[in-house]
Amino acid sequence: MNVNNDILFEQFKNTVDVNNPPKLLLHACCAPCSTYCLTRVLPYFDVTLYYSNDNITDSGEHAKRLAELVKLVDIVNGGQFEVQPLRKLKLVKTTLCADNFYKAAKGLEQEREGGARCTECFKLRLLETFRYAQTHGFDLFGTTLTVSPYKNSQLLNEIGLALQTDPVKWLSSDFKKHGGYLESIRLSNKYSLYRQHYCGCEFSLRQMQEIK
Ligand code: SF4
pTM of the complete model beyond 0.95: yes
pLDDT value for 212:
66
Is ligand 1 within 6 A of the CB of residue 204? yes
Question: DSSP letters of 157-192?
Answer: HHHHHHH-BTTBEE----TTGGGHHHHHHHHHHHTT
**What is the domain count for the chain?**
1
CA distance 198 to 201: 8
For residue 61, tell me if it sits in a domain.
yes
For residue 129, tell me if it sits in a domain.
yes
pLDDT digits (tens, 9 = 90+) for 119-146: 999 999 999 999 999 999 999 999 999 9
Nearest-atom index, ligand 1, CA of 199: 2
Mean pLDDT of 193-212: 91
Is ligand 1 within 6 A of the CB of residue 75? no
What range defines the domain where residue 129 resides? 8-211
Cα 94 to Cα 15, 51, 62, 128, distances in angstroms? 31, 6, 11, 10
CATH number at residue 194: 3.40.50.620
pLDDT value for 83:
98
Residue nearest atom 5 of ligand 1, based on CA coordinates: 118
Phi, psi dihedral angles at 52 (to 5 degrees): -130, 95
For Cα atoms 31, 162, 137, give the angle at the middle one, nearest 5 degrees: 60
For residue 1, tell me if it sits in a domain.
no
Say what the alpha-carbon torsion angle 190, 154, 42, 196 is, to the nearest 10 degrees.
Answer: -30
For residue 3, tell me if it sits in a domain.
no
CA distance 31 to 28: 7
Cβ neighbours of residue 32 closer than 8 Å, sequence gap 6 or more: 68, 184, 185, 187, 188, 193, 194, 195, 196
Is ligand 1 within 6 A of the CB of residue 143? no
